[in-house]
A and B are shown apart, each in its own frame.
Chain A
């Protein structure tokens, strides 16, 4: 089925963002456990930048990075579950939604972190002053609780990759490192992103994080 030719599958912004998340998640967990809140804050803002970048990239990135190419309707998902193969390489109709779920939970977790605080109302996320102590305390509790959802979805993600590797004999990790994978002859190459789209997406993400880090001051 595969192997006739090699195609570019994941562009470098997708791969970079992916592996940054892999590195930052354990670091964020560890700094939280150890009470290293200042470091947790810096790492959290860094991750926020990459997640915002990935969200922008979902609109302006290369074909396999775009949401509209991998978020498919329920009919397509059902067809895929019945065993009908998809036409284009990239996230399959079910996997696409798991990526969306991961990004959504990460975004929610980051948003909660932005308003979270220590129990003294002293060390806090950059947007904490926008909330009362009590509202921020609730957000902090959710921030702790939602980490379990992050863990669960990450575990599901890794389990799916292991299933592909062991049962389907399909290594998905390699392409996420190199960006290339084997494909049938005749598969058209994926449409790449516009040349400077990554620079625009990165500038946009950096500006957004900078503004949030300053406590989201009025833009006048």
Chain B
């Protein structure tokens, strides 16, 4: 009886886990695309800020996109999507070994992108530039800790 229950629980757990294991390469590709989209948004905002008359609508749009993408980062690293997935990934094992620290890092990112989004609601380029720099700093800070150095 206990053996059957144990088996059932293990089987159920395995079935639950299976889709995510099978989808690991897709998960990795999706999160890489998400990061790339964030970098694109960063550049578009940065490009606008260099102009004499920035298009603040573009800045607002990209800040919002960046903030949404940032919100996905914390849940883009399910177990099984590290180097063991067999797809090229820069994700370090520390992401899963120190989940609390990783979640704190991703919270720092969303905090920064919220700040950028708030700054982008106005037209104070100095404030937007500072918020963009702060966002970039959280990118780099997390990469130093949780991404393979090349």
Contact indicator B140/A215 (Cβ below 8 Å)? no
Measured between alpha carbons, how far is A121 from B41 in the docked complex, in Å? 8
Measured between alpha carbons, how far is A129 from B45 in the docked complex, in Å? 10
Contact indicator A121/B46 (Cβ below 8 Å)? yes
Measured between alpha carbons, how far is A121 from B39 in the docked complex, in Å? 6
Measured between alpha carbons, how far is A215 from B51 in the docked complex, in Å? 10
Within 8 A of B (CB), among A119-143: 119-122, 124, 128-129, 132-134, 136
A64 in the interface (beta carbon within 8 A): no
Measured between alpha carbons, how far is A134 from B40 in the docked complex, in Å? 8
A117 in the interface (beta carbon within 8 A): yes
Interface residues of B, dominant DSSP: helix
- Given A120-B140, A122-B132, A122-B133, the answer on whether A133 and B50 have CB atoms closer than 8 Å is no
Contact indicator B50/A215 (Cβ below 8 Å)? yes
Q: How many residues of B contact A (CB 8 A)?
A: 14
- Given A122-B132, A122-B136, the answer on whether A129 and B50 have CB atoms closer than 8 Å is yes
Chain A residues near B47 (CB-CB < 8 A):
128-129
Contact indicator A117/B50 (Cβ below 8 Å)? no
B42 in the interface (beta carbon within 8 A): yes
Measured between alpha carbons, how far is A129 from B50 in the docked complex, in Å? 8
- Given A120-B139, A120-B140, A122-B132, the answer on whether A136 and B50 have CB atoms closer than 8 Å is no
Contact of B40 among A128, A129, A133 (CB under 8 A): A133
B130 → chain A closest CB, angstroms: 12
Measured between alpha carbons, how far is A122 from B46 in the docked complex, in Å? 6
Q: Find the B residue at minimum CB distance from A121.
A: B43
Q: Find the A residue at minimum CB distance from B51.
A: A129
Contact of A133 among B39, B51, B139, B140 (CB under 8 A): B39
Contact indicator A119/B39 (Cβ below 8 Å)? yes
Measured between alpha carbons, how far is A109 from B42 in the docked complex, in Å? 25
B60 → chain A closest CB, angstroms: 17
Q: Find the B residue at minimum CB distance from A123.
A: B136
B91 → chain A closest CB, angstroms: 15
Instruction: Give 16 pairs: A residue, B residue, CB < 8 Å, sorted on A.
Output: A120-B42, A120-B140, A121-B39, A121-B40, A121-B42, A122-B42, A122-B43, A122-B136, A124-B43, A128-B43, A129-B51, A132-B40, A133-B39, A133-B43, A136-B43, A215-B50
Residues of chain B having any CB pair with chain A under 8 Å: 39-40, 42-44, 46-47, 50-51, 132-133, 136, 139-140
Residues of chain A having any CB pair with chain B under 8 Å: 117, 119-122, 124, 128-129, 132-134, 136, 215
List 20 other contacts, CB 8 Å, given A122-B43, A128-B43, A129-B46. A117-B43, A119-B39, A120-B42, A120-B43, A120-B136, A120-B140, A121-B39, A121-B40, A121-B42, A121-B43, A121-B46, A122-B46, A124-B43, A124-B46, A129-B50, A133-B39, A133-B44, A134-B40, A136-B43, A215-B50
- 5 nearest CB pairs, A to B: A121-B43, A133-B40, A129-B47, A121-B42, A133-B43
